[in-house]
Amino acid sequence: MSQTSPALLVQEIGEQGLLNRLQAFCPADVVGDDAAVLTVRNDRSLVVTSDVLVDKVHFSDQTTSPEDAGWRAIAANLSDLAAMGAFPLGITVGLGLPGTVKVEWVERLYQGMVACLTQYGGAIVGGDICRSSVITIAITAFGQVHPDRVIRRSTAKPGDAILVTGVHGASCAGLELLLHPEQGQTLDSAERIALIHAHQRPKPRLDLLPILQRLTGAKHSFPISGMDSSDGLADAVLQICRASGVGASIDRHQIPIPSVFKHWLSPAQALEWALYGGEDFELVLCLPIALAQIVVQELAGAAIVGEIVVEPEVLLVDSTGQQADEVLSLDRGFQHF
Amino acid sequence: MSQTSPALLVQEIGEQGLLNRLQAFCPADVVGDDAAVLTVRNDRSLVVTSDVLVDKVHFSDQTTSPEDAGWRAIAANLSDLAAMGAFPLGITVGLGLPGTVKVEWVERLYQGMVACLTQYGGAIVGGDICRSSVITIAITAFGQVHPDRVIRRSTAKPGDAILVTGVHGASCAGLELLLHPEQGQTLDSAERIALIHAHQRPKPRLDLLPILQRLTGAKHSFPISGMDSSDGLADAVLQICRASGVGASIDRHQIPIPSVFKHWLSPAQALEWALYGGEDFELVLCLPIALAQIVVQELAGAAIVGEIVVEPEVLLVDSTGQQADEVLSLDRGFQHF
């Protein structure tokens, strides 16, 4: 791709000019028709998920470079695929752009998208560009999964262990440090950068899928339910319980949090961010305890945080007996309007 | 679905409240997970296309009811599927909404979408809603096609007939009547309504696909190329010729136009709208003349408008010999920025 003048605006090259430049980010064989043609394996179902991201709501130049905005947009959608047990096939990108956006900004956005796709699988197979008063990024991701290996929210069973694939609260902490750099004076530079990186470059947990495939490959049934924690760990557990008609007991001391929280935050604040911070894009799975224990051994950072119970309530319990049980609810999460 | 108060605003019920209401428009079995699971037939390829529509750019309350905006958004995407030879499987809808939009407006938008899907196939299988300063509708449509029956732009051959599935210019005329009601004084009320309807309720030409399947079913090769005329007939012919490395000769007298143009517009104005008006969502196909003649017999309104030639230029010719040949170019079409 040719070097782009940093001053060049979208309105100077028009829709077609921009499309021509962005085609450099797509595989050559999908460009140039009304739609892209993809191959789904014969024995696989198609999985489809969508996100719409808007400037100043979901990203902003204050906290997010265009490369990071692109990475995050893709990572969020690949995380939804991972949460269904599906491997990525491709994505489409719809862009609404003010004419005064710099062409370089759009190209850097695509560089971030392609960086994430290159690492985790899939390619940009289509899209649309149009004029808008606000930068809008609409992503649709497609994946494929064996129809008997779909991870759903609605099949959690009492007695299942609740497993998370990694720490919670890091993304929220990273955003806080970006918005309020005066915060976290007890953190050293590497610790700050690690938390900010967790916010800017979240990892979709597709690495879990081959492990699950191997561990369940010989079984006739697939005893795993779950979703991702994009809207927070509390939200994920509550959504799974609601969809499955069950409850859960979560041990506050078993939730993995960044180790640096201990010399920065109060335990209450650390727990708040871990439960309600959101955007950690880990997976929250409900599965038989024996299987969960094997996953914990094989996947660094994974932890069993609780258990599915019959009573349809999500309780935060204290295994040390020092604090009273708390009932978790969605009310402490946020709504987008 | 319960009756919605016309005054209720999106910000009063929030993202989750709106999602709950909109789930009534989706099949029950696709709601409630991180992503939708769809089945693609074993012997079919997946076809994917996307569009982004923005308030005041692609639709406006002045010319488009929310039902019509919904219908048009779906019809445009199903037309892209038809242009690839693909039958619809489903769509996702991403919405960016100001909090001050009425809930009823969004529900009417979805009613228009579902009306189009019910008529032509497919269902809303997923989506996303977020806050935005401008109403934004991002559609991604999925279809399936036999891999040997994909209609591409790049395979037109000299000697092919150029066939259109219907009249061109009607959508542009309908928009003109909506924007400038004082226009078209020579038209009677039914004629006005028909043109406005062509703009508000375009028909994706999926009805052509079973005819093509039947006519080519026994053949080893699939000798059909083409695209839809969403950006105008001239654009479609030019794009096909560019992608195929060929040229075309179009007979200005063979282009089907609404009959009412004759007692309203000058021949030059009628031709301008037919070639450059856009949004008629007909198909423009290049295929052997014998096959084209059968299609014309079977599909009411279809017409052969010209021929693919070796010389890479698109000429507008006059079979009556009265007017000189003209070279068509994309410069008279419009750019979105």
**pLDDT single digits (tens) A7-31:** 899 999 988 889 889 988 988 777 7
Cβ–Cβ of A131/B337 closer than 8 Å?
A: yes
- CA gap B310, A2 in Å, rounded: 32
Radius of gyration (C-alpha) of chain A in whole angstroms: 21
Using a CB-CB cut-off of 8 Å, the residues of chain A touching B145 are 37
The secondary structure of residue B275, as a DSSP letter, is: H
Please name which of A146, A126, A149 lies closest in space to residue A46, comparing C-alpha atoms.
A146
User: Rounded to two decimals, what is the model's pTM?
Assistant: 0.92
- CA gap A118, A208 in Å, rounded: 18
Query: Do residues A144 and A41 make contact, with C-beta atoms less than 8 angstroms apart?
Result: yes
Distance in Å, alpha carbon of A126 to nearest chain B alpha carbon: 7
- CA gap A139, A189 in Å, rounded: 34
Nearest CA in chain B to A153: B33
Residues A148-168, mean pLDDT to the nearest whole number: 97
Backbone angles phi, psi at B141, to 5 degrees: -115, 140
pLDDT for res A337: 59
Nearest CA in chain B to A96: B52
Q: Which of A33, A81, A92 lies closest to B84 in CB terms?
A: A33
Using a CB-CB cut-off of 8 Å, the residues of chain A touching B335 are 14-16
Using a CB-CB cut-off of 8 Å, the residues of chain A touching B142 are 46, 48, 142
H-helix or E-strand containing B285? strand B283-287
User: Can you give chain A as a three-state secondary structure string?
Assistant: CCCCCCCCEHHHHHHHHHHHHHHHHCCHHHCCCCCEEECCCCCCEEEEEEEEEEECCCECCCCCCHHHHHHHHHHHHHHHHHHCCCEEEEEEEEEEECCCCEHHHHHHHHHHHHHHHHHHCCCEEEEEEEECCCCEEEEEEEEEECHHHCCECCCCCCCCEEEECCCCCHHHHHHHHHHCCCCCCCCCHHHHHHHHHHHHCCCCCCCHHHHHHHHHCCCCCCCCEEEECCCCHHHHHHHHHHHHCCEEEEECCCCCCCHHHHHCCCHHHHHHHHHHCCCCCCEEEEECHHHHHHHHHHCCCCEEEEEEECCCCEEEECCCCCCCCEECCHHHCCCCC
pLDDT in tens, A196-253: 999 999 999 999 999 999 999 877 789 999 999 999 999 999 999 999 999 999 999 9
- CA gap A164, A283 in Å, rounded: 6
pLDDT for res A268: 93
Write out residues in chain B with pLDDT < 70, as ranges. 1-3, 331-337
Query: Do residues A102 and A12 make contact, with C-beta atoms less than 8 angstroms apart?
Result: no
Using a CB-CB cut-off of 8 Å, the residues of chain A touching B131 are 54, 57, 336-337
Q: Which of A42, A58, A132 lies closest to B136 in CB terms?
A: A132
Q: Which of A46, A58, A129 lies closest to B46 in CB terms?
A: A46
Neighbours of B179 (CB within 10 A): 11
pLDDT in tens, A278-288: 999 999 999 99
DSSP readout, B35-61?
SEEE---TT-EEEEEEEEEEBTTTB-T
ipTM of the predicted structure? Answer: 0.88
- CA gap A329, A327 in Å, rounded: 7
Q: Round the average pLDDT of chain A to a whole number and report it.
A: 92
Distance in Å, alpha carbon of B56 to nearest chain A alpha carbon: 9
Test the B interface: residue of A26, A46, A139 with most B CBs within 10 Å: A46
**Is the dihedral angle over the CA atoms B52, B57, B61, B64 positive or is it negative?**
negative
pLDDT in tens, A118-139: 999 999 998 899 999 999 999 9
Cβ–Cβ of B49/A126 closer than 8 Å?
A: yes
Residue B325 class from Cβ within 10 Å (0-12 exposed, 13-18 middle, 19+ buried)? exposed
- CA gap A142, A247 in Å, rounded: 31
pLDDT for res B271: 95
pLDDT in tens, B235-262: 999 999 999 999 999 999 999 999 999 9
Residues A100-127, mean pLDDT to the nearest whole number: 95
For strands A136-145 and B314-317, give the pairing.
Answer: unpaired
Query: Do residues A272 and A334 make contact, with C-beta atoms less than 8 angstroms apart?
Result: no
- CA gap A170, A167 in Å, rounded: 7
Cβ–Cβ of A54/B150 closer than 8 Å?
A: no
The torsion of the CA quartet B328, B331, B333, B337, rounded to 10 degrees, works out to 160
Cβ–Cβ of B80/A47 closer than 8 Å?
A: no
Query: Do residues A27 and A123 make contact, with C-beta atoms less than 8 angstroms apart?
Result: yes
Q: 3-state class of B97 per DSSP?
A: strand
Using a CB-CB cut-off of 8 Å, the residues of chain B touching A89 are 46
